[in-house]
Structure 1
Amino acid sequence: MLCGKSRTSYFVCLFKELFLRTKLIKYKTMHFIYSLLVAFLLFSCSKQEEVAQIQKKYDFSVKVIRISDGDSFVGLNDAQQQMRLRIHGIDAPESGQPYGKKAKQKLSEFIFGKQIYLKVLDTDRYGRKIVKIQTNHISDVGLEMIKSGLAWHYIKYDNSHQYSQAQDNARNLELGLWHDASPTPPWQWRSQKHKSSAKKVFLR
């Protein structure tokens, strides 16, 4: 903006210019804030729709309050009842095995303290619900445990090609328990431990 030569006209002109610039800055600021609000609302609606779609696919949700080991945990349902749960299709190292603690830690990272969604597939002899799990960020927790090399594909109860492929990849990359040359599957470890205990009882 060109201002006159007189002092009065100069200050009037300067004031007008400052006023217009301030107005422009306010407009840009409000436009930016408005854009942020619109983006936030769209994101919130999208997340709500995503959660709603997840809930439709699963039977119910729980908040995880305790991790027992790498494939089992305790959740609190909407009625504030504790439920003992086991993940379908995987078998993680037992606490007495190598990588047992790491498997428990990894599962804790995935689900402890979080609201998760469950699809019940069966009930085991211990009264635990056998479940598939999804969180807001992980579509299949059991699969992620296998991918990390901290759980075996439990082929006795699951024939998923995706799980088998994930285990092969983890083995090839020597992730987690696959870093060892010949890791013992948990079901074999439990069987050996059971036979050893039975033998001790027999010899008494």
Structure 2
Amino acid sequence: MLFIGVSVLQYLQRGEITWPTDLYHRAVGTVSDYPTRPDAAWRKAADKLGELGASREGKPTPDFDLQGRVVKIIDGDSLSLLEAGGRQHTIRLFGIDTPEWDQPHGKAAKRALAKLVDQKVIGVVAVDTDTFGRTVGTVYLGQRDINLAMVESGHAWWFTRYAPYERHLAAAEEQAREDRTGLWAADDPVPPWHWRRNKR
């Protein structure tokens, strides 16, 4: 009845019935316009992914999940961070794996991380929490990606098992291998995950 009433009213006013066509074009316009709208959900998600990706390329970083002073270097890929409020966190550097403390180059990797960040204020972009309760994340000193720096300097492997898509780490490891930098100066360095498995 409503449709009939609208049709009769429009016919009396305009001499023709156009409201079904008008309604159709309005709906099509709304749908086709959606992908280009700044508030589209896909655009917001893409912007966030781009922001996170840029953070790992040495460009302006996203907001840090944690910030504080490094109060202890545990090994080449783990440290303790003390927030301004007094809360302490253990941080496991995401996407890299360094030699174990009893493995060749293990102590050198720990010294390398200490030289970069010990007693300095850092930011952490958290990725996960591991089974030991540690925050797994990318560590930044200013805009410098410390995880990447450890691989570039030949003190860490790209940890493909847990970070298969971090291609910048792959490229950094490949370059360090070619240059025989750090642990790659040895003829056949043993990946730490193999070292741990053989120690069991």
Both structures adopt the same fold (TM-score exceeding 0.5): yes
Q: Greater CA deviation, 73-82 or 94-103? A: 73-82
Give the distance between the partners of 2:121 and 2:61, measured in 1 at CA: 11
Q: Which residue of 2 aligns with 1:17?
A: none
Which residue does 1:131 correspond to in 2?
137
1:144 to 143, 149, 152: 149
C-alpha distance after superposition, 1:44-86 (max 9, x if no partner) = xxxxxxxxx9675211201100000000011101221211110
Which residue of 174, 177, 186 maps to 1:171? 177
Residue 110 in structure 1 maps to residue 133 in structure 2: no
Cα RMSD, aligned residues only: 1.5
Aligned counterparts, 1:27-66, within 5 A: 57-66=63-72
Give the 3 Å change call, closer, same or farther, for CA 78–54 of structure 1 in structure 2: farther
Q: Which residue of 2 aligns with 1:90?
A: 96
In structure 2, how many angstroms separate the alpha carbons of the residues matched to 1:127 and 1:59? Answer: 16
Give the Cα–Cα distance (whole angstroms) in 2 for the partners of residues 55 and 80 of structure 1.
24
* 1:96–1:89 distance in 2 versus 1, CA, 3 Å: same
- Cα 1:184–1:55, aligned 2, differ >3 Å: closer, same or farther? closer
SS of the aligned residue for 1:155 comes to coil
TM-score for both structures, normalised by structure 2: 0.68
CA distance in structure 1 between the partners assigned to 2:62 and 2:129 by the alignment = 21
User: Is there any run of 5+ residues in structure 1 with no aligned partner, and where?
Assistant: 1-52, 195-204
Q: What's 1:77 paired with? A: 83
Question: Contact conserved, 1:117 with 1:135, CA < 8 A, in 2?
Answer: yes
% identical equivalent positions? 35
- Number of corresponding residues: 141
Cα shift readout 1:162-193 (whole Å, capped 9, x = no counterpart)? 11010000000001110111110001101111
Question: Secondary structure at the residue paired with 2:112?
Answer: helix
The letter of the residue matching 2:147 is G
Does the CA contact (< 8 Å) of 1:65 and 1:75 recur in 2? yes
2:167 match? 161
SS of 1:102 mapped into structure 2? helix
Structure with higher Rg: it is: 1
* Alignment partners' CA distance in 2, 1:175 and 1:55: 28
With normalisation by structure 1, the TM-score equals 0.66
Higher helix share: 1
AA of the residue aligned to 1:151: A
Q: Does the 8 Å contact 1:92/1:150 carry over to 2? A: yes
